[in-house]
């Protein structure tokens, strides 16, 4: 998935590069900087000594040493001073410069912490917005997988009004009851050995007659049915892409789906996507709920009210919100799987 928000410790990310929220000396400090230096070991500190520091909004790159990543990109975020001192532009620049360095060093995957949102005091909700916007913008023209690693889940807040509205919708629509009332099976009455023997004889003769008389008819009937299959998921996807006048790239980028995965679907029309991937395409195509249900069915899925993920998706489609990243922010806040593939 090109852009993913994950919960965890950035020092454990197995990616090509992780980004460090450093200070201008680049010689270590507290927070994520301290965690990265202590996990990487003295080699990182020695290389940082050669870099000559770094300006706010800029970035420099080193090796990863004992970390599971190849590179560490060190960037210096702005200190929050109320928001009117160019903080947003500096923070955007941190993401952009880091991503440019990652591309120059042929990194295919990069993980960011929430730069400036700790010691430097940038309000976490605004820091997430700046980070997401900068990353999504960059991904419009670059093939890269980018993770935004949220260390403390409390830092993560979506828009308050959206959150309230979603809670209300979930409350009204989410049910843990099955949609069809469940009837417990009745215990079968005991069967005597003689009755069992009769039963076996009966079914075995029915089976032989069925096999002898109708196997030819049945196979041609089945053949005919197989030749008249309904349009499949991939065919509907490609038809809709054409109808909407989108290019393939526009579609998979809007869907937050990796180019390689999209090529797989292009070359194998029977490809069965995962449910979050199927929904990501539905969102990219901006399908109304009835068409969304139809397309999901073609991939073998449905939306149900006994699944929180489904209720959240239904909420966004019903409200005409077709931005995968906004939906993913909400899914993340409610601990659900994210869209894309």
Site string for ligand AR6, 96-135 (x = CB under 6 A): -----------------xxxxxxxx---------------
59-63/71-76 β-pairing: antiparallel
35 binds ligand AR6 (CB under 6 A): yes
**If we measure between CA atoms, which residue out of 100, 102, 134, 101 comes closest to residue 115?**
134
Q: Which of 1, 15, 21, 236 binds ligand AR6 (CB under 6 A)?
A: 21
Site string for ligand AR6, 198-237 (x = CB under 6 A): ----------------------------------------
Task: Name the one range near ligand AR6 by CB under 6 A: 24-32, 223-231, 251-259, 305-313.
Answer: 24-32
155 binds ligand AR6 (CB under 6 A): yes
Q: Which of 33, 47, 87, 310 binds ligand AR6 (CB under 6 A)?
A: 33
170 binds ligand AR6 (CB under 6 A): no
Cross-strand pairs, 3:
146
Identify residues 68-87 at the interface with ligand AR6 (CB under 6 A).
77
| Nearest CB to ligand AR6, comparing residues 10 and 312 | 10
Q: In the structure, how many helices (H) and strands (E) does the chain have? A: 13, 6
151 binds ligand AR6 (CB under 6 A): yes
300 binds ligand AR6 (CB under 6 A): no
| Nearest CB to ligand AR6, comparing residues 4 and 116 | 116
> Which DSSP string corresponds to 116-175?
TSSTT---HHHHHHHHHHHHHHHHTT---EEEEEESSGGG----HHHHHHHHHHHHHH--
- Separation of alpha carbons 249 and 254, rounded Å: 8
Return the residue matching tokens 């995968």.
Answer: 324
Percentage helix, strand, coil for the chain under 3-state DSSP, each rounded to 5: 50, 10, 40
53 binds ligand AR6 (CB under 6 A): no
Task: Name the one range near ligand AR6 by CB under 6 A: 26-34, 158-166, 190-198, 317-325.
Answer: 26-34
Q: Which of 23, 90, 145, 336 binds ligand AR6 (CB under 6 A)?
A: 23
| Nearest CB to ligand AR6, comparing residues 37 and 275 | 37
**If we measure between CA atoms, which residue out of 280, 266, 276, 271 comes closest to residue 238?**
266
Task: Tell me phi and psi for residue 5, to 5 degrees.
Answer: -100, 125
For helices 324-333 and 308-318, give the axis angle rounded to 10 degrees: 150
CA-based torsion, 66, 70, 76, 78: positive or negative: negative
The secondary element (H helix, E strand) that includes residue 17 is strand 17-22
The secondary element (H helix, E strand) that includes residue 310 is helix 308-318
Coil, strand, or helix at residue 274? Answer: coil
The CB-of-6 to ligand AR6 minimum distance in angstroms stands at: 10
Q: Which of 19, 32, 59, 257 binds ligand AR6 (CB under 6 A)?
A: 32
29 binds ligand AR6 (CB under 6 A): yes
Q: From the CB of residue 219, how many other CB atoms can be counted at a distance below 10 Å?
A: 10
88 binds ligand AR6 (CB under 6 A): no
Cross-strand pairs, 75:
21, 59
Task: Name the one range near ligand AR6 by CB under 6 A: 6-14, 83-91, 226-234, 277-285.
Answer: 6-14
Return the residue matching tokens 């308050």.
Answer: 160
The CB-of-133 to ligand AR6 minimum distance in angstroms stands at: 17
The CB-of-277 to ligand AR6 minimum distance in angstroms stands at: 27
Task: Name the one range near ligand AR6 by CB under 6 A: 61-69, 147-155, 217-225, 318-326.
Answer: 147-155
Contacts with ligand AR6 by CB under 6 A lie at: 9-11, 21-23, 29-33, 35, 77, 113-120, 149, 151-152, 155
């Amino acid at each position: 998935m090109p852009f993913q928000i994950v919960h965890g410790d950035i020092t454990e990310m197995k990616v090509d590069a992780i980004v460090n929220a450093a200070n201008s000396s680049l010689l270590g400090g507290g927070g994520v900087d301290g965690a990265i230096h202590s996990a990487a070991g003295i080699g990182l500190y020695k290389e940082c000594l050669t870099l000559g520091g770094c300006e706010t909004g800029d970035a420099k790159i080193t090796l990863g040493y004992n970390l599971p990543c190849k590179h560490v990109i060190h960037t210096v975020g702005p200190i929050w001073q109320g928001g009117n001192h160019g903080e947003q532009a500096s923070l955007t620049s941190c993401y952009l410069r880091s991503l440019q360095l990652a591309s120059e060093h042929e990194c295919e995957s990069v993980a960011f912490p929430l730069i400036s949102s700790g010691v430097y005091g940038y309000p976490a909700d605004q820091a997430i917005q700046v980070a997401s916007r900068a990353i999504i913008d960059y991904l419009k023209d670059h093939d890269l997988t980018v993770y935004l690693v949220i260390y403390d889940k409390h830092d993560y807040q979506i828009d308050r009004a959206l959150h309230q509205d979603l809670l209300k919708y979930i409350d009204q629509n989410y049910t843990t009851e099955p949609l069809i009332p469940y009837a417990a099976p009745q215990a079968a009455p005991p069967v005597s050995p003689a009755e069992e023997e009769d039963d076996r004889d009966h079914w075995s003769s029915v089976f032989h007659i069925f096999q002898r008389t109708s196997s030819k008819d049945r196979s041609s009937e089945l053949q005919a049915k197989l030749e008249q299959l309904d349009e499949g998921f991939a065919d509907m996807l490609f038809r809709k892409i054409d109808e909407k006048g989108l290019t393939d790239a526009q579609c998979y980028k809007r869907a937050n789906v990796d180019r390689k995965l999209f090529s797989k679907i292009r070359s194998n029309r029977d490809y069965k996507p995962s449910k979050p991937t199927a929904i990501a395409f539905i969102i990219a195509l901006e399908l109304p709920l009835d068409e969304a249900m139809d397309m999901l069915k073609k991939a073998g899925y449905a939306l149900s009210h006994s699944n929180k993920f489904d209720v959240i998706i239904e909420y966004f489609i019903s409200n005409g919100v077709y931005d995968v990243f906004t939906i993913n922010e909400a899914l993340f806040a409610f601990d659900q799987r994210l869209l894309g593939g």
